[in-house]
Structure 1
Amino acid sequence: MILSDGSINASYVVKNINLANNIERRLEMLGMTTGVKVVILNKKHNGAIILKVRGTRFALGREITDGIEIGEYENE
């Protein structure tokens, strides 16, 4: 499943990031790496998604969220 298909107030784990190298590296510098937990806080009508990664809020556009694969988060 891709990030833009996720539900509001749900937790997911980033499985893979398939974006241009410069965007992928920038997201990694901001803390979004494979295996990290993300929580979708809100979805906007234009396709943007507001999410929380490692305690920080991000707003990502549709082009970026379509390139991020996620899986269900399992509480440990």
Structure 2
Amino acid sequence: MRLKEGKNNHTYVVEKIQIELNLERRLEALGLTEGSKITILNNDKKGAMTVKFRGTRFALGRRIADNIFVKEEAA
């Protein structure tokens, strides 16, 4: 599923990032890579979504969130 389809306060594991190389490298530099855990803090379906990974909160635009594929973290 796409990250933008995720629910608030749920943690997911990044499976794939399909975005322009420069943005992918920027996300990589921030610590968001395949296999990373990411928690959605606020996904109100409008504007940027707030997420947390590697202990830091970030705002991700819809276009970026639409190109990050995740799966639910195993309980």
TM-score w.r.t. structure 2 length? Answer: 0.94
In the TM superposition, structure 1's runs of 4+ consecutive aligned residues that sit over 6 Å from their partners are none
The CA distance in 2 between the partners of 1:15 and 1:61, in whole Å, is 19
1:43 deviates by 1.7
- Kindly indicate whether residue 36 of structure 2 is the aligned counterpart of residue 42 of structure 1: no
Structure 2: distance between partners of 1:54 and 1:74: 18
| Partner-residue secondary structure (3-state), 1:38 | strand
1:5 pairs with 2:5: yes
- What's the CA shift for 1:45? 4.6
- Could you say what the CA RMSD is over the residues aligned between the two structures, in angstroms? 1.0
Residue 54 of structure 1: CA displacement? 0.7
CA distance in 1, matches of 2:45, 2:4: 12
Distance of 1:4 and 1:67 partners within structure 2? 9
Gaps of 5+ in 1: none
Match of 1:22 in 2: 22
**Structure 2: runs of 5+ lacking an equivalent:** none
The count of corresponding residues between Structure 1 and Structure 2 is 75
**TM-superposition CA deviations, 1:12-65 (whole Å, max 9, x none):** 000000000000000000000000000000024523110000101010000000
Superposed, which structure 2 residues align to 1:31-70 within 5 Å?
A: 31-70=31-70
Tell me what 2:71 maps to.
71
**What percentage of residue pairs aligned between the two structures are identical?**
51
| TM-score with structure 1 setting the length | 0.93
